[in-house]
Chains A and B, each alone.
Chain A
Amino acid sequence: MTAPIVDVQGLHKTYRSFSLKGRKNVNAVRGVSLQAFPGEVFGLLGPNGAGKTTLIKMLLGVVKPSSGSAEIFGQPIGSSSARARVGYLPESLRVDRHHTARSALRYYGRMSNMAADQIHSRSDELLKLVGLEGRDRESVRRFSKGMYQRLGLAQALLHDPDLLVLDEPTDGLDPVGRNEVRKVIDRLRDSGKTIFLNSHILQEVELVCTRVAILAKGEIKGIGRIDELSENSDSRLQVDVHLAETLTLEDQQTASQWWEQTFEQRFAVQADSPADPAIQHLTIEVQERPEIDWIVDRIRARGDSITRLEVRRESLEEAFMRLVGSNEGVAVTASPAPVAVTDSTTVPAAKEA
């Protein structure tokens, strides 16, 4: 088996803070273990405060783990040799105002020990790749957030790293820009680079990631390919039925219960009636394939016609909601989720520290 590029084993991070009220410990990451393999686009998902950024910071050596171990390219995280092969795009890149895109790339290139001519040629190439060609001499003061994000991507790729850590890479980009970034990621994956992607946009993750880890309350709630994360045993059957005999007015009003009685109370049924009273749209929660056969048989036994039948699998979003819990699912886009604290109080965690 190929050796993982990123190998995290039981990583813990506890933030300790002191105040007049006493000591407070916040467990941001609790025993996370995961691996990312060469050529993989590994997605890291989770609600705000789940510990994603803390995990990334630990991988980059910015934050020191409280316990556990992690390696990048077989080197302990935080080591210079490991960091030399990593390209990082922070969530909201800040470039000093005196820079232009080109001078910023020169600065970051020097920090990665690149030679001047190497920086020059790579800058030309990357500025073109991220769409900043022709604006490379412009002060970054005039840059929009999207342009900053492009510049950030260029600097992350500058020293041709083997592992790219992208924190919200499409944040602030327009749809065209997002598409371009996705193409860049695809191209990098095809060229054998490993990408560690942290994003809130589930559709984006769904489109580009080969494997995903869902993190909540500092713990891994699910990890694997996206189809592996979806719940196979819990499907939703949608059936459009053309009734042989129109329902009575009373039965129409309680159609769902009527169908549940029809199916001998074995399933939860959601029945919708369009304008035509002879047509019924049924949504039935099923768990096993024989149950679908039984339902079909039952409808056919009544003499009704089945005009459409669809078994719908769980989406990533649904899997995410299920794994992190419905309350937390709301928090993905709305408000920060609470995280557990060891002194049994609850504090809001707007973002990982």
Chain B
Amino acid sequence: MKPYLAVVLDSFHSAFSSRVLWIAILAIWVFLAGLAPIGYREVYTTEFRWFDLDNGTQLKAMLARGLVDPNEKETALGRIAQTVPEETRRSLEKVARGENIRIDLEKLSDSFNESLDDESWYDEKAWESTVRLKELRELDEIPDDEISEDLRRRRARLRIEAALPGVFAAMSSRSIMLSYAGFDFPAMFAISKSQFGTVVNQFVVPLITSWLLGFALIFLGILVTASIVPEMLQPGSLHLLLSKPLSRTMLLLAKFVGALAFVLICVCQLVIGLYLIAGLRLDLWNPRILWCIPVSVFLFAVFYSVSMLAGLRWRSSILAIGLTCIFGAVVLIIGIVGGYFDGSVRMPDRISRMAFDGDDVVVSTRGGELKHLDPETNEWDVLIERDFRRSDLIVPPVRLAEGQIATAKIRNGRFNLYGTGSLDLLMLRRESEWELEPGLRLPNGTRRFLICDDLLIGVNNAGLMATPLEKAISTIRPEDEDDGDDSEEAAEESTGSESTGSASGMAAAAWMRDLLRMQGGATDSFTNILPSGITLTEPVRVEHLPELDSLVVYSRGRLVRLSLESVDLEQKTTASTEADLLLEDENAARSLLAASGRSLLLSRQNEPLQWFDADDLQSKATLETEAGETIVSMKGIGQSGRFALLNTDGDLSLVSLRDGALVREPMSFGDVTAVDYLSDPGVLAIAHHLDRIDWVKVGEDGSLTTVREIEPAVSGWRSVDRYAITPLRTLTPQTGELSDMVAALVSGKSSFAIGQGQPDDQEVVQYKIARPVLSCGVFIVVMLTLSCVYFKRRDF
């Protein structure tokens, strides 16, 4: 190996004598020097920003109620409502009168910010009835004369949040304030330190890798190294080399490895520099950043393999550079087209929720479509078209009765918890050939349905809204009918004639009712069965326990079992609280809840899985998840006390309790997009590979038996993707996807979910790791083989 090592070392020697290398090194050091003064400090999250106000409709209604309802005058809500500026107050009063007034959220957030400095609105008694987080309870214990200004402002913010539950986005208590050379950045990042680390690792580092390492340095590297092979082929050089006792193949490979020296030298400096800056200046000591070095060199190897073959064939560095650039452009275009197909064709077709009725299948997709599988053609019929702005939200469809499936479409529901306009139960009936028909008017913000025996329960942030199932089934309204009794527009109409009057008597009662409806409260058809004293604050999860005739509610760290026995819709009696548990730690973290038999499984981000006895809500066992793993869906498998877990990688696993300990076993399914349990046939419905569905029976021993396979026919753009784009992407190295690999390596996660909301809203990002490595690796091997065969056989 000694002679070949000499060739490799000579390449380093050659690289160091290159002026371009020194210019690149200088540029890298200037860049690092420019980056070095960056710093950060952690501050308490105090200031409100307009986009923290997650649910404008509810906030508007709550503040209006606080202003006009005499009962709220001395409550926390009423006291906060009194602090809004005069102009906003007038607008809120109009809202209270039923007028459809838009409130400037920025003005509201400014108003709250002013309230942070002057806490005259605070009254200890008034806040006693609010749901106070652990952090607020601890801060409340600090005497006023001992609390620091930052903590006082933080406490004030938490008090405002407690007074207006459910309207603010869940924020971490600490924010990151970036600074440069000692000067603070104009805006702070309202994210925790760990979130900041995630942002840096998952977005900033891959961005730098893509542009600085993946583009600039690769191009520079090709410019410098393209001449290596043509120069070697000069007669006075090549004949001497070939006269030495060397293998031609090994000589060429040594030259190839040696050419990587240039990029290695530059990348090492840049990446190690970034690693040190991130560590020393931002306290983000993440040795995984160093993965960028081999990945960048690997990426360069793809391009250099082209340059080398071109240099061998035509013995011209100019031609080698030109062809490499053309190759890079082709790969880029294929990557862009492929990415477009991923985002616009494949991803939107991923099934997010399913409902079955015999052979009929209705699914909602990530792209916001509602589709019915035509059993005759085996093709999807689109019931609700894709919303290209992707702002609408399809409420997961549920089977109400034989031949009847229900769903709902919340306009702008992705960005606004309650959406805009009225919300109808959308009925799909076999007898109407699965055409959409409007049913009952739903409470605002209903995001999920539960069927509990003879009740249809709609879950929203205001409560658990129940209606008799029979009523939901039997109510079909003509398309153009609008009874208007629940909508904001209707509220405006019905109260318009009395809007100039004061809030008194019947009119005041009507306003209150309308305001409550605006907040997602009870309607004529739906009754809130959530007991008073329980407030739903995101993250909210609700599960049905048929065995105990109960519902289990998880609301930002609070776990409650509610018995449905006491529910009487006629009498408007609510469910009764049977067990109540307050969990500590990060209550705002992404959470999932599943029920099976008398067991509950709770998953909270960055915490172990917790197994509870549903009777008394006592924690029975915990199980650590894999580092960096994010669970996106959990389903109880009937009453068996076992659960199916789906993570962001699309892997399914089975969790069960054995001998008092939780055991997790992988299920042989990959690329799973959704999972559901069908109690009637007693099977798991597993949606995988975009829109394929398998029904699987899970045996007592965990064995899986597929009982039904649904593989819809593809057509249109999906066909183009399957038969043209995918083969093209398979044949070309997917260099663009290597930044995915960097993100995965640096963050230690192969996938992640964006969005803290309901599982149905979450964008799951799966990094492509195997494909770019495989496609680029195979490409390099093919190009090197061609080069070696050419070099070995050719007379020079």
Interface residues of chain A, those whose CB is within 8 Å of chain B, are 15, 57, 60-64, 80-81, 83-84, 86, 88, 90-99, 103, 107-108, 110-113, 155, 165, 353
Contact = CB atoms under 8 A, between A and B. Distances in A.
Interface stretch (B10-18, B109-117, B315-323, B724-732): B10-18
B6 A107 contact: yes
A94 B230 CA distance: 13
Interface centre among A60, A90, A113, A165 (most CB of B within 10 A): A90
Interface in B197-249: 231, 234-247
21 contacts: A61-B242, A62-B242, A62-B243, A62-B796, A63-B795, A83-B244, A84-B245, A88-B239, A90-B239, A90-B240, A92-B235, A96-B10, A96-B231, A99-B13, A107-B6, A108-B244, A110-B2, A111-B6, A111-B7, A112-B3, A353-B795
Given A61-B243, A86-B243, A94-B236, A111 B3 contact: yes
Contacts of A64: 795
B231 to A, nearest CB: 7
Given A60-B239, A80-B245, 7 more contacts: A62-B239, A88-B240, A88-B243, A91-B235, A97-B17, A107-B6, A110-B5
Contacts of A63: 795-796
Interface of B is mostly: helix
Contacts of B2: 110, 113
Contacts of A95: 237
Contact of A110 (B6, B14, B239, B243): B6
Contacts of A93: 236, 240
Given A64-B795, A88-B240, A92-B235, A112 B245 contact: yes
Nearest to A84: B245
Nearest to B793: A64
Contacts of B241: 111
Nearest to B15: A98
Contacts of B245: 80-81, 83-84, 112-113
Contacts of B7: 111
Given A83-B244, A107-B6, A111-B244, A90 B236 contact: yes
A61 B246 CA distance: 11
B238 to A, nearest CB: 8
A155 B236 CA distance: 13
Contacts, number: 80
Contacts of A57: 239, 795
Given A60-B243, A112-B3, A91 B236 contact: yes
A137 to B, nearest CB: 14
Interface string B1-43: 0110111001001101100000000000000000000000000
Contacts of A108: 240, 244
B586 to A, nearest CB: 57
B242 A60 contact: yes
B3 A94 contact: no
Contacts of A107: 6, 10
Contacts of B796: 62-63
A112 B795 contact: no
A81 B246 CA distance: 10
Contacts of A353: 795
A83 to B, nearest CB: 5
Nearest to A113: B2
Contacts of A88: 239-240, 243
A112 B3 CA distance: 7
Contact of A92 (B3, B14, B236): B236
A224 to B, nearest CB: 27
Interface centre among B5, B238, B242 (most CB of A within 10 A): B242
A112 B236 CA distance: 17
A84 B234 CA distance: 22
Nearest to A86: B243
A353 B796 CA distance: 8
Contacts of A80: 245-247
A60 B16 CA distance: 32
A60 B245 CA distance: 10
B301 to A, nearest CB: 22
A15 B238 CA distance: 19
Nearest to B241: A111
Contacts of B246: 80, 111
Contacts of A83: 243-245
B587 to A, nearest CB: 63
A113 B3 contact: yes
A80 to B, nearest CB: 4
Contacts of A61: 242-243
A230 to B, nearest CB: 33
B561 to A, nearest CB: 77
A272 to B, nearest CB: 48
A321 to B, nearest CB: 29
Nearest to A155: B240
A63 B17 CA distance: 32
A123 to B, nearest CB: 15
A97 B13 CA distance: 11
Contacts of A155: 240
Contacts of A84: 245
A112 B244 contact: yes
A165 B241 CA distance: 14
Contacts of A110: 2-3, 5-6
A222 B5 CA distance: 45
Contacts of A98: 13-14, 16-17
B542 to A, nearest CB: 71
A42 B16 CA distance: 42
A112 B5 CA distance: 12
Contacts of B10: 96, 107
A61 B238 CA distance: 12
A84 B231 CA distance: 24
B235 to A, nearest CB: 7
Interface string B485-508: 000000000000000000000000
Contacts of A60: 239, 242-243
A90 B235 contact: yes
Contacts of B236: 90-94
Interface centre among A88, A91, A93, A111 (most CB of B within 10 A): A111
A83 B238 CA distance: 14
A112 B244 CA distance: 6
Contacts of B239: 57, 60, 62, 88, 90
A57 B242 CA distance: 9
A63 B231 CA distance: 19
Contacts of A90: 235-236, 239-240
Interface in B154-198: none
Interface centre among B16, B236, B243, B247 (most CB of A within 10 A): B243
Contacts of A15: 795
Contacts of B5: 110
A158 to B, nearest CB: 11
Contacts of A96: 10, 14, 231, 237
A133 B795 CA distance: 37
Interface string B79-114: 000000000000000000000000000000000000
Nearest to A81: B245
B245 to A, nearest CB: 4
A96 B6 CA distance: 14
Nearest to B18: A98
A89 B236 CA distance: 9
B199 to A, nearest CB: 43
A199 to B, nearest CB: 17
A111 B234 CA distance: 18
A155 B240 CA distance: 10
B216 to A, nearest CB: 24
In the A-B complex, the 6 residue pairs with the smallest Cβ-Cβ separation, listed nearest first, are A98-B17, A110-B6, A94-B236, A80-B245, A88-B243, A94-B237
A88 B242 CA distance: 10
B168 to A, nearest CB: 64
A110 to B, nearest CB: 3
Contacts of A62: 238-239, 242-243, 795-796
Interface centre among B237, B247, B795, B796 (most CB of A within 10 A): B795
